Amino acid sequence: MEMLNIRVIKKFLNTQGQVSCVALLLSIVTFLSVIVASFVTEQISTFINEAAAGSDDFYIAVKVIDGDTIEVENNGQRLKIRYIGVDTPESVKPDSPVECYGQEAKEFNKSLVLGKKIRVESDVTDTDKYGRKLRYVYLEDGRMVNEILLEEGYARLLTIPPNVKYVDKLREAEKKARENERGLWVKCSQ
C-alpha cells in the first residue's frame, strides 16, 4: 500500500509539474502576446494618424512669391501653393503695377512662413487654372496662415466654391481686420 501511495504521489507530482510547466508556458505566451499586440497597435495607430494627416503634408517654405502664393519643398519635391480663401494685393503680376499693400502683404507672408516647417491641407479642388496647389497652410504652432493674413489686414476674403471648408472662420477674421482698421482696410481705398 505504501508503494502505491508513493507511485500516486510521484504521478501526482509529475502531473502537477507538467501542469505547472504548461501554465508557465501559457503565461509567457500570453505576456508576449500582450507586448506584441501593444507594439503592433501602436505602429498601426501611428500609420493611420500619418495617413490621416497626409505624411507628405509637411513642407519647408522655400520661396514667397507674393502675399498669397509660396513654393514649398519636401524630399526634393517642390510645389507652388496658392492659399485658399484669401486674396492679397498684387505685387508681382506681369504688366500690372504693384497694388496698394501688395509689397507689405508679401513681406508679412515671408515673415510668417519662409524657411519654416508648415503643414498644408486641401479642400475640394486640388489645383487652380495655373497649376498651383490650393491649400490651407498651417504654422508649426497650429495657426492657419490664411486666417492670419485676413485678421491682420493683409488680405481680403476670396471665396471660390466648392473650396469653402473654413469660409465662416475666414469671414470672421476679415471682419475683425475691417472693424479694427488693420492693414489694407485703413491704408488703401476700397
Catalytic residues: 82, 90, 132
Cell readout for 112 is: 510668417
Q: What is the number of alpha carbons within 13 Å of residue 81 lying toward its C-beta?
A: 34
Backbone phi, psi, residue 179, to 5°:
-65, -35
Q: What end-to-end distance do the CA atoms of the chain give, in Å?
A: 113
Q: Which H/E stretch holds residue 40? A: helix 2-53
Determine the Cα–Cα distance for residues 81 and 139; give it in Å rounded to an integer.
14
Spatial CB neighbours of 146, under 8 Å, sequence gap ≥ 6:
83, 84, 85, 86, 136, 137, 155, 166, 170
Cell numbers at 78, concatenated: 517642390
User: Which element (helix H / strand E) includes 119?
Assistant: strand 117-121
How many residues make up the chain in this entry?
A: 190
